[in-house]
């Protein structure tokens, strides 16, 4: 039997999908046959993304919920919406993330808590809600993919809480993969390197010296496109990846191979 990577039929929740990498992930899942529940923090931005995706795939294949993934009610609502609208849930992509770049000595407690809240708790809660739904329904299987980062493995100045949150994501993947394997639930992560699209409000990458450093230390010599980051998420949710769990897949142009 040939295991196909070109079909991801079923229903997927994608957090942080109103822009950037998350929006590209949603576009790729739709292109490969999925129906999607998208999520963003900002209602207007989420509505705009929903319109763009329905133009791509049709209103019957896209539904959205705007909310803060660091809050339990948002994760419960996303899972409930998947079952109410589509009658099933097959994959969850925990992609929402934020960052503030500054020296470690300058971070305030509120900034630390907010970054860890969105990036780590906001990854765990949707995964937890999906797993609970699958186990309660007696469903065998289900794919969960978290978004990690090269900052989980390489020290990068100015990213203390972000790097800590992504290191936590990597360990969370391993713990959940082991704990939920008896239920057939797979848990993995994609760890992007530097991407052409950057987070809102991050301006440091406009510095030519920063760009030169990125190109120098990335063996492939360039940033990734959002499409190059999105495609591995499709692979990990596809039938070709049914024996992969507990993995953190580096998609970084070789940055962490050195």
Kindly report the three-state secondary structure assignment for every residue of 75-137. Answer: HHHHHHHHHHHHCCCCEEEECCCCCCCCCHHHCCHHHHHHHHHHHHHHHHHHHHHHHHHHHHC
**Cα–Cα distance measured from residue 55 to residue 169, given in angstroms and rounded to the nearest whole number:** 33
| Segment (H or E) for 251 | strand 248-251
Q: Give residues with Cβ within 8 angstroms of 248, minimum separation 6.
A: 148, 152, 170, 173, 188, 189, 190, 191
- What is the DSSP track for 11-44? EEEETT-SSHHHHHHHHHHHHTTEEEEEEESSHH
User: What is the three-class DSSP state of 217?
Assistant: helix
| Residue 66 phi, psi dihedral angles, 5° rounding | -90, 130
Residues with a catalytic annotation lie at 162
């Amino acid at each position: 039997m040939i295991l196909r990577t070109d079909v991801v039929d079923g229903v997927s929740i994608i957090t942080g999908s109103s822009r950037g990498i998350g929006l590209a992930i949603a576009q790729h899942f739709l292109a490969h046959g999925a129906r999607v529940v998208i999520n963003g923090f900002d209602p207007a931005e989420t509505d705009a993304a929903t319109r763009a995706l329905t133009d791509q795939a049709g209103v019957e294949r896209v539904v959205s919920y705007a909310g803060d993934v660091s809050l339990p009610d948002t994760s419960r609502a996303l899972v409930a919406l998947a079952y109410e609208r589509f009658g099933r849930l097959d994959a969850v992509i925990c992609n929402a993330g934020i960052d503030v770049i500054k020296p470690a000595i300058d971070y305030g407690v509120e900034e630390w808590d907010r970054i860890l809240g969105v990036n780590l708790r906001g990854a765990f809660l949707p995964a937890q809600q999906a797993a609970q739904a699958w186990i309660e329904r007696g469903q065998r299987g289900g794919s969960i993919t978290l978004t990690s980062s090269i900052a989980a493995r390489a020290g990068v100045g100015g990213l203390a809480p972000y790097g800590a949150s992504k290191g936590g994501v990597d360990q969370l993947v391993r713990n959940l993969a082991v704990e939920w394997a008896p239920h057939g639930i797979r848990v993995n992560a994609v760890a992007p390197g530097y991407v052409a699209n950057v987070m809102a409000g991050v301006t440091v990458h406009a510095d030519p010296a920063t760009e030169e450093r990125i190109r120098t230390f990335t063996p492939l010599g360039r940033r990734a496109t959002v499409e190059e980051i999105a495609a591995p998420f499709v692979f990990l949710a596809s039938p070709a990846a049914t024996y992969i769990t507990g993995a953190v897949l580096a998609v970084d142009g070789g940055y962490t191979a050195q």
